[in-house]
Amino acid sequence: MEMAISPKIEVPKILSEDRVKSFIENGYISVPDLITPDEIGELKRDTVTIARGGYPCEGIKPFPKELSDEEVLQRILCIHQPHYVSPLMERYVRHPKICGVLSQITAAHIPYWDGSVKCMQSLLFVKPPGFQGQAWHQDEIYIPTRDRSLIGAWIAIDDATTENGCLWVIPASHRTGYLYPQRSHGNPDEFDGVDHESHGFDESKEIPVEVKAGTVVFFNGYLLHRSRKNRSGIYRRVLVNHYCNAWSLLPWQLREGERPANADWRRVISVAGIDPYAWKGYERSPKEVWLRTCKAAQEKDGKEGDQRRKSMAEFVKVANTGDLKPGSAKFVEVGEVQIALFNIDGNYYAIDDVCTHSGGSLSEGWIVEDEVTCPLHGAIYNIKTGEVAGPPAPRGVAKYNVRVRGTDVEVEV
Ligand SMILES: O=C(O)CCC(=O)C(=O)O
Ligand code: FES
């Protein structure tokens, strides 16, 4: 049988041969003015639309209407996979100039490569003032390719400086293809809690990559990089899209019956040249879209929540007793407070709905006895106390007093 190959996607050549060589040598390259000020404007506007839940999806609940756009953005470190729901973000995954550069450098280390590229991930960092950075890592630890061709296209939406938490890299650290071991970073004030830290190399070789808005920084998946806390008064917004050689299988996750050698993640978009595996079809997964918070965001919400609770704690009706069967949960909102209400053997309990790991909705989790498992990455919480009973959540969630008056279930907030 003749296998269907996708039509060829033509993209412009952007870089000189010297610049391509520089990428192969150093593992990264900055290309200024690839994105126009008008395009920056639409990326900023769409960030607000996504953050406010303007594209309905399970992972992003609309914030309360009373919150201003600024107040919404100030609660978000990063939005994962926005291109699955936002047509504009998908357009930037396919941006002709970005894909033109990608078709020159992504697998330029491989002889006979024909410039074919596919995208598997988008990350929209908001990183407001005070928010944590990402500790040392290599992206191929998270997204393995077969041929060391993973590449990030890091689109600066704001000027990125050492003050607001720009990218830092160790030039040429990708060359050997060595994946450094990881450990816990032990610095939650500087770095986000989700990521471990790569170690075992000379950190003194790191350099900051300070760039103007509209610049795109391209970096290889083996390049050691990190970013620090945002210590400025302005955002550091960045859209990072990840790609690889379209000829590489993508063993990102093993499904049933797959082995590392034949696993192939198909939630991809072909963006340059051909897709030799087009015959397998494509998948999309709006379920993968979610908001990631960090320590700074949780502390902010915690402080505001504490103040609110101290100044105006009162019992508020949130449900009728008949609304929840034993062993089930319900999402309820009182003002800005998002609560997971549980019925365990006829008794009612209320805890914050938002998982402290990365914002999963606990009311949508799995309940076993008096514990709930976060639907996103499996953190476990005690429903009666809000305490963490299993990783990866860094801390517990607030617990609220509940009382039943007649058939009214009331929560103290
Ligand atoms: O920009 C950042 O803060 C980190 C980006 C990053 O580590 C990545 O996209 O792999
Ligand atoms: S959001 Fe990751 S475990 Fe809950």
What is the CATH classification number for the domain harbouring 261? 2.60.120.620
- Cβ of 240 below 6 Å from ligand 1: yes
Return the best residue to mutate from 121, 123, 206 for the ligand 1 pocket (most ligand atoms within 8 A of CB). 123
323 and 242 within one domain: no
Residue 303: predicted pLDDT:
57
Which of 50-64, 123-137, 308-322 is predicted most confidently?
123-137
The one-character DSSP state at 355 is -
Instruction: Mark whether 287 and 331 lie in a shared domain.
Output: no
The pLDDT, as a whole number, for residue 290 is 86
d(CA 278, ligand 1 centre) in Å: 29
**Domain co-membership, 143 together with 259:** yes
pTM of the model: 0.77
What digits encode the pLDDT tens for the residues 250-281?
999 888 889 999 999 999 999 999 999 999 99
Same domain for 45 and 183, yes or no, is yes
Residues 340 and 256 in one domain: no
Helix H or strand E encompassing 69: helix 69-73
Dihedral sign for Cα 352, 356, 359, 364, please.
negative
Name the residue range of residue 367's domain.
313-412
- Domain shared by 78 and 174, yes or no: yes
Can you give the pLDDT at residue 254? 87
Mutate to test the pocket of ligand 2, among 77, 361, 374 (most ligand atoms within 8 A of CB): 374
Q: Which helix (H) or strand (E) holds 44?
A: helix 37-51
* Segment among 3-7, 119-123, 126-130 with least mean pLDDT: 3-7
Residue 79 has pLDDT above 80, yes or no: yes
Ligand 2 atom, smallest distance to 378 CA: 3
Burial readout 44-72 (b: 16 or more C-beta within 10 A, e: otherwise): bebbeebbbbebebebbbebeeeeeeeeb
Q: How far is the CA of 214 from the centre of ligand 2 (A)?
A: 32
Strands (E), 109-223: 117-125, 151-156, 167-169, 182-183, 197-198, 207-209, 216-220
CB contact set of 41 (below 8 Å; sequence gap of 6+) = none
Nearest ligand 2 atom to alpha carbon 375: 4
Query: 287 and 326 share a domain?
Result: no
Q: Do residues 137 and 96 share a domain?
A: yes
Based on its alpha-carbon atoms, the radius of gyration of the chain, rounded to whole angstroms, reads: 23
Task: Note whether residue 38 is domain-resident.
Answer: yes
- pLDDT reading at 301 higher than 90: no
CATH number at residue 332: 2.102.10.10
Q: Which residues of 17-30 are buried (b: 16+ CB within 10 A; e: fewer)?
A: eeebeebeebbbbb
Hey, which of 195, 238, 243, 244 would you mutate to test ligand 1's pocket, going by the most ligand atoms within 8 Å of its Cβ? 238
Q: How far apart are CA 66 and CA 335, in angstroms?
A: 9
Q: Are residues 274 and 337 in the same domain?
A: no
Instruction: Tokens 């050689």: give the residue.
Output: 245
Using pLDDT thresholds of 50, 70 and 90, give the confidence band for residue 311: low
- Exposed / middle / buried, residue 204 (Cβ in 10 Å: 0-12, 13-18, 19+): exposed
In sequence order, what are the beta bridge partners of 60?
57
Tell whether 34 and 103 lie within a shared domain. yes
Please indicate whether residue 125, judged by its CB atom, sits closer than 6 Å to ligand 1. Answer: yes
Which of 240, 261, 292 terminates a domain? The answer is 292
Mark whether 327 and 233 lie in a shared domain.
Answer: no
Asked whether residue 10 is assigned to any structural domain, the reply reads no
Task: Please answer whether residues 360 and 377 qualify as being in contact, where contact means their C-beta atoms are separated by less than 8 angstroms.
Answer: yes
Greatest mean pLDDT among 144-153, 281-290, 370-379: 144-153
Cα separation, 247 vs 291, in Å, equals 31
Name the helix (H) or strand (E) containing 348: strand 347-352
Which spans in 96-176 are helix H? 96-105
Residues 148 and 234 in one domain: yes
| Structure-model confidence comparison of residues 322 and 336, the more confident one | 322
Q: Is residue 33 part of a domain?
A: yes
Q: Is 379 in the pocket of ligand 2 (CB under 6 A)?
A: yes
Compute the distance from residue 327 Cα to the ligand 2 centre, in Å: 21
